[in-house]
Amino acid sequence: MKDKAITLSDIAQKLNVSIVTVSKALRDHPDISKQTTKLIKKVSAEMGYSPNFMARNLSARNTNTIGVIVPKIAHFFFGSIIEKIYDVAFENNYEIILMVSQENAEREKKHVQTLLSMKVDGIIISISQETKDYEIFETVKRRGVPLVFMDRVPEIEGVNTVAVDDYTGAYKAIEHAINIGYTRIGHFAGYTKINIGYGRSKGFIDAMNKHGIEVNPDWLIEGGFGEKYGYEAFMKLYKANNLPDLIFTVTYPVALGVYQAVHEVGLKIPDTIDLLCFGNAKMQSLLSPALSCIDQPTHTIAEKSMELLLDNIRLSEDFETKNELIETSLILRETCVAKNKSLFTESGAHNIAAGN
What domains can be seen in the chain, in order of their start residue? Answer: 8-51 (no CATH), 59-164+298-326 (3.40.50.2300), 166-296+330-353 (3.40.50.2300)
Say how many C-beta atoms besides its own lie within 10 A of residue 322's C-beta.
Answer: 15
Residue 162: what are its φ and ψ, rounded to 5°?
Answer: -130, 115
Q: What is the pLDDT of residue 19?
A: 86
SS (H, E, C) 220-260: EEECCCCHHHHHHHHHHHHHCCCCCCEEEECCHHHHHHHHH
CA-based nearest residue to 194, from 288, 112, 128, 107: 128
Q: What is the pLDDT of residue 1?
A: 39
User: Is 151:308 a contact under the CB 8 Å cutoff?
Assistant: no
Q: How far apart, in whole angstroms, are the C-alpha atoms of residue 282 and residue 108?
A: 28
Q: What is the pTM of this model?
A: 0.80
Q: What is the pLDDT of residue 283?
A: 74
User: Is 76:129 a contact under the CB 8 Å cutoff?
Assistant: no
Q: How far apart, in whole angstroms, are the C-alpha atoms of residue 63 and residue 95?
A: 9
Q: What is the pLDDT of residue 350?
A: 44
Enter the DSSP assignment of 153: -
pLDDT in tens, the chain (356 residues): 345 678 888 999 999 999 889 988 988 888 899 999 999 999 998 888 877 655 555 555 688 999 999 999 987 899 999 999 999 999 999 999 999 999 999 999 999 999 999 999 999 999 999 999 999 999 999 999 999 999 999 999 999 999 999 999 999 999 999 999 999 999 999 999 999 999 999 999 999 999 999 999 999 999 999 999 999 999 999 999 999 999 999 999 999 999 999 999 999 999 999 999 999 877 777 788 999 999 999 999 999 999 999 999 999 888 999 999 999 999 999 999 987 544 344 444 444 455 44
User: Is 257:226 a contact under the CB 8 Å cutoff?
Assistant: yes
Q: What is the pLDDT of residue 161?
A: 98
- 333 by DSSP, 3-state: which? coil
Q: What is the pLDDT of residue 59?
A: 55
The Cα-based distances of 344 to 80, 330, 333 in angstroms read 31, 17, 10
Pairing mode of beta strands 350-353, 220-222: unpaired
Q: What is the pLDDT of residue 27?
A: 80
Task: List all residues 6 or more positions away from 106 whose beta carbon is below 8 Å from its beta carbon.
Answer: none
Q: What is the pLDDT of residue 352?
A: 46
